[in-house]
Amino acid sequence: MHATKALSLFCVFFGFSPLVFAQQIKVVTEHFPPYQIVENGLPIQGSAVELVKKLLAKANHNVPIEVYPWARAYKLALNEPNTMIFSMARIIEREHLFHWVGPISKLKGHIWALKSSSHIEINALDDAKRFSIAVIREDSTHHFLRYIGFNDEPNLYFTTAFKQNVQMLLLERVDLVIGTQSMLEEQMSDLGLDIKKLKKVYAFNPDDFQLYIAFNKDTPLDLVNKYQRILEEIHQSYSH
């Protein structure tokens, strides 16, 4: 029996498409601590990275995790079949653009301002519409804020990296930034500054702002479903 025919029979018997075994994938991400951490000269690490590495190993995909600025990683995942991207918030605006695997984590961040900005008080997310916010273009925060009614102008000022968000805040070109404690601590440390120059003004962890792995829409569903099954197996092993 030819090897190809034998593989096909094996796949049919066990419920897998041959494409699942034959298809290689591209994996892209960004620097996004504590989920994805890129440090000079060191392999990429972080809680989401470790999980994705386990998924790739169990799926027999020996491929590198490629790190790009978010806008480029997002564009690759949007346009190139068989591309996986993580960690990405699954929000309504993106729902139809990708196949989803997850959730893998819940985003827990804050809205931050300069400690000296005594006039800034936020008791509800809508209050932030009175202020300017630096966001990375096309990232999860940008899409979510736009979805709930924030306008690109005058509310949002766009950057290509979180470091630029923090710099704009420190230069008082914007009133607010949104990020995790780890993200702000890292950027302030890199600038030789104490995070005590900043203050948290509002918790930013909406219930529908969970983080997922996403696949390009043209990725075979058998492959996507395989990753979802493996993820569920990993979650179950943690709970036992």
Asked, colleague to colleague, whether 18-107+209-239 and 109-204 share their fold, the answer is yes
pLDDT string in tens for the chain (240-residue length): 444 444 444 444 444 444 444 578 999 999 988 899 998 889 999 999 999 999 999 999 999 999 999 989 999 999 999 999 999 988 888 999 999 999 999 888 999 999 999 999 999 999 999 999 999 988 888 988 988 899 988 899 999 889 999 999 999 999 999 999 989 999 999 999 999 999 999 999 876 678 999 999 999 999 999 999 999 999 998 765
Query: Which pLDDT value is given to residue 20?
Result: 45
In total, the chain counts a number of residues equal to: 240
Task: Judge whether 183 and 112 are in contact, CB under 8 Å.
Answer: no
Task: Judge whether 27 and 84 are in contact, CB under 8 Å.
Answer: yes
Sketch the domain layout of the chain as residue ranges.
18-107+209-239, 109-204
- CB-hemisphere CA count at 13 Å for 139? 24
Domain at 109-204: CATH architecture = 3-Layer(aba) Sandwich (3.40)
- CB-hemisphere CA count at 13 Å for 132? 15
- Tokens describing residue 194: 């104490």
**Secondary structure of 159-210 as H, E, C letters:** ECCHHHHHHHHHCCCCCEEEECHHHHHHHHHHCCCCHHHEEEEEEECCCCCE
Measuring CA to CA, which residue among 201, 166, 206, 169 is closest to residue 184? 166
Task: Judge whether 180 and 74 are in contact, CB under 8 Å.
Answer: no
Query: Which pLDDT value is given to residue 14?
Result: 46
Measuring CA to CA, which residue among 80, 102, 83, 79 is closest to residue 91? 102
- List the alpha helices (DSSP H) in the chain: 3-14, 18-22, 47-58, 70-79, 140-147, 162-170, 181-190, 221-239
Cβ neighbour number for residue 232 with a 10 Å cutoff: 11
Query: Which pLDDT value is given to residue 3?
Result: 44
Amino acid at 122: I
Query: Which pLDDT value is given to residue 4?
Result: 41
- Tokens describing residue 197: 């120059």
Taking the C-alpha atoms of residue 211 and residue 106, their distance in angstroms, rounded to an integer, is 6
Topology adopted by domain 18-107+209-239: D-Maltodextrin-Binding Protein; domain 2 (3.40.190)
